[in-house]
């Protein structure tokens, strides 16, 4: 018997969706005497979503999810890519196309992936139960994330190597009298003169010859054995990743409290130091100088579109995996606006840090700013270490800087691996009970393949992976994903799903972007992956990158301003 006097909150819920205590009153009559016993029972908590499916584990706190998304999206490219793009494409004027594409494509795609994962409660492959013919897209993005991990972890190991090397009285990339230096080493090479074309700075030779050992390999057919120093650093990175991921979001959600916040602390400290250096203001002025005439160049708009697409991290399955651990009623719309905005603001803020030091280097060596302004690995592993080496207490500043690079890389790598792990264990349910072992299998496999990138000729393998891992494939994957949601599953149905979660439908603007604007945006990016001399082929629908060539592979990389062939 259930006592009808109990308040509604204490009544038993036969659907299993309420975990309030239930008071059971048992009335038993024996020989005309009634015996009453009262028992307080707490039902087993079994949360279900509106479709009746049992829910998975969720983030310990909402901030764990936000920091995880921010930590994944804010990576090394925010420091070494965006500031340089801004500088060479009109300074402050570059923000016009950047913000334009962020509003019409970046945020809508970001919002779409968060909502897709949160509603369906599965990884990148499992979410396509809404339209099974597109499940291949889910496996594609999982494979891309795994593929990127093969070389992205190597970048983190470089930062680890530099970090260990910084614990010394004098930084090893200051002079040319080391065993790894060549006769071409010079304290500073002014590339403006013919005689200095083949000169290299100590910092450049340290990266090339002491870290990478490029001089010991003459091509991809002569890799050599893995170098024990980089292999050890890579092993440390893999161990950190494993113990951050092995228990799922319960552990990774705590790790990001450090890895996602540390870069902001270090960037602020570096900015405060940078603006006090001579020439720093000139560098910042160059970074912010506005040249609206550059907006007439289509290349500026293409680079802004490309930067938005890759910097937000859509298409890797990470946003889907992270949001699948949210509570069903979580406001994913607000999360999308907050996290994508923080990502872009971080890129802009890091530009002040980078160009304060570049301005200092320009004045110190009495050369034009464009002689020292670079992007990519050359900025963070050559130019910045060289600038830090000239400061008082250089070892301390180097340790701080490379800790920042390490934390920037770790949480992005965590996101990529979580995409793979979540995507596969959700698709193959028996793996749920063996997450720790499966996570170990994934990280060890990644480590073994990454060993090719820490050999003497590892830079050739690294460049090959970097150029073909997440370029065209990501754009194609996101395009098919957007088409699958907007045109096959249906924007109206997808909007109903969002209303079921957050209580209101997306506005007309978002629905138009999902159905028309974002897919068109992704298709015009064919220009961004094609040399300018071949743009006429794109107009005719002939994109060389979509053609498979089996007769030869040409390896070409642009590493910190020099060419690797």
- From the annotation, which residues make up the binding site? 71, 73-74, 78, 311, 343, 408, 411-412
Backbone dihedral region of 27: left (phi > 0), alpha (psi from -120 to 50 degrees) or beta? beta
Whose tokens are 């949210």? That residue is 326
> Which stretch of DSSP H or E encloses residue 379?
none
Backbone dihedral region of 12: left (phi > 0), alpha (psi from -120 to 50 degrees) or beta? beta
Mention every residue, 6+ apart, whose C-beta is less than 8 A from residue 393: none
Q: Specify binding-site residues for Na(+).
A: 71, 73-74, 78, 311, 343, 408, 411-412
Q: How wide is the angle at C-alpha 66 spanned by C-alphas 131 and 401, nearest 5°?
A: 120
- With b for 16 or more beta-carbon neighbours within 10 A and e for fewer, the 273-299 pattern comes to bbbebebbebbbebbbeeeeebbeeee
State the Cα torsion 306-325-132-429 to the nearest 10°: 130
Q: Is 408 exposed, middle or buried (0-12, 13-18, 19+ CB in 10 A)?
A: buried
Give the other-Cβ count within 10 Å of 136's Cβ. Answer: 12
**How far, in whole angstroms, is CA 107 from its chain's centroid?**
15
- The C-alpha atoms of residue 431 and residue 427 are separated, in whole angstroms, by 9
> Which stretch of DSSP H or E encloses residue 282?
helix 280-288
| 3-class secondary structure, 455 | strand
- The C-alpha atoms of residue 203 and residue 244 are separated, in whole angstroms, by 33
Residue 428 dihedral angles phi and psi, to the nearest 5°? -115, 90
> Is the Cβ–Cβ distance between 443 and 242 less than 8 Å?
yes
Whose tokens are 């690294």? That residue is 462
Would you state the structure tokens that stand for residue 43, as one six-digit string?
A: 């039902």
SS3 percent helix, strand, coil of the chain, rounded to 5, is 65, 5, 30
DSSP string, 331-360: -HHHHHHHHHHHHHHHHHHHHHHHHHHHHH
- The C-alpha atoms of residue 215 and residue 202 are separated, in whole angstroms, by 15
Whose tokens are 């991921």? That residue is 245
């Amino acid at each position: 018997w259930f006592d009808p006097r109990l308040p509604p909150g204490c009544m038993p819920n036969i659907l299993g969706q309420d975990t309030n205590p239930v008071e059971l009153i048992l009335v038993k009559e024996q020989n005309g005497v009634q015996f009453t016993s009262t028992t307080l029972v707490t039902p087993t908590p079994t949360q279900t979503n509106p479709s009746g499916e049992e829910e998975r584990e969720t983030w310990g706190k909402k901030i764990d999810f936000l920091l995880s998304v921010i930590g994944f999206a804010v990576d090394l490219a925010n420091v070494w890519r965006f500031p340089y793009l801004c500088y060479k494409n009109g300074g402050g004027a570059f923000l016009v196309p950047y913000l334009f594409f962020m509003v019409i494509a970046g945020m809508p795609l970001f919002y779409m992936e968060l909502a897709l994962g949160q509603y369906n409660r599965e990884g990148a492959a499992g979410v396509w139960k809404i339209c099974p013919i597109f499940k291949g897209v889910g496996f594609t993005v999982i494979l891309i994330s795994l593929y990127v991990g093969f070389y992205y972890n190597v970048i983190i190991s470089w930062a680890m190597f530099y970090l260990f090397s910084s614990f010394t009285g004098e930084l090893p990339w200051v002079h040319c009298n080391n065993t790894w230096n060549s006769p071409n080493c010079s304290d500073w090479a002014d590339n403006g003169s013919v005689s200095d074309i083949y000169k290299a700075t100590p910092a450049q030779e340290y990266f090339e010859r002491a870290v990478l050992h490029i001089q010991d390999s003459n091509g991809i057919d002569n890799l050599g054995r893995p170098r024990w120093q980089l292999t050890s650093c890579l092993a440390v990175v893999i161990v950190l990743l494993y113990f951050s991921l092995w228990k799922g979001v319960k552990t990774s959600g705590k790790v990001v409290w450090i890895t996602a916040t540390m870069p902001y602390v270090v960037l602020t400290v570096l900015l405060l130091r940078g603006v006090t250096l001579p020439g720093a203001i000139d560098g910042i002025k160059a970074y912010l100088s506005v040249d609206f005439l550059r907006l007439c160049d289509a290349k500026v708009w293409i680079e802004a579109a490309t930067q938005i697409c890759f910097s937000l991290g859509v298409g890797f399955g990470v946003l889907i995996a992270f949001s699948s651990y949210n509570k069903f009623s979580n406001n994913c719309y607000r999360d999308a606006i907050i996290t994508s905005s923080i990502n872009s603001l971080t890129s802009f803020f890091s530009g002040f840090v980078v160009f304060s030091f570049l301005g200092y280097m320009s004045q110190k060596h009495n050369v034009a700013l464009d002689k020292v302004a670079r992007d990519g690995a050359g900025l963070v592993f050559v130019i910045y270490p060289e600038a830090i080496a000239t400061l008082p207490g250089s070892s301390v500043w180097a340790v701080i800087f490379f800790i920042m690079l390490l934390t920037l890389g770790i949480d992005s790598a965590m996101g990529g691996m979580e995409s793979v792990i979540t995507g596969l264990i959700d698709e193959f349910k028996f793996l749920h009970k063996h997450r720790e072992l499966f996570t170990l299998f994934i990280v060890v496999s990644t480590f073994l393949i990454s060993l090719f990138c820490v050999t003497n000729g590892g830079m050739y393998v690294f460049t090959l992976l970097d150029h073909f891992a997440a370029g065209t494939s990501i754009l194609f994957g996101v395009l098919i994903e957007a088409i699958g949601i907007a045109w096959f599953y249906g924007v109206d149905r997808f909007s109903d799903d969002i209303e079921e979660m957050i209580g209101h439908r997306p506005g007309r603007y978002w629905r138009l972007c999902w159905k028309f604007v974002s897919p068109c945006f992704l298709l015009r990016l064919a220009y961004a992956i094609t040399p300018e001399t071949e743009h006429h082929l794109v107009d005719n629908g002939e994109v060389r990158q979509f053609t498979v060539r089996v007769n030869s592979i040409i390896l070409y990389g642009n590493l910190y301003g020099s060419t690797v062939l």
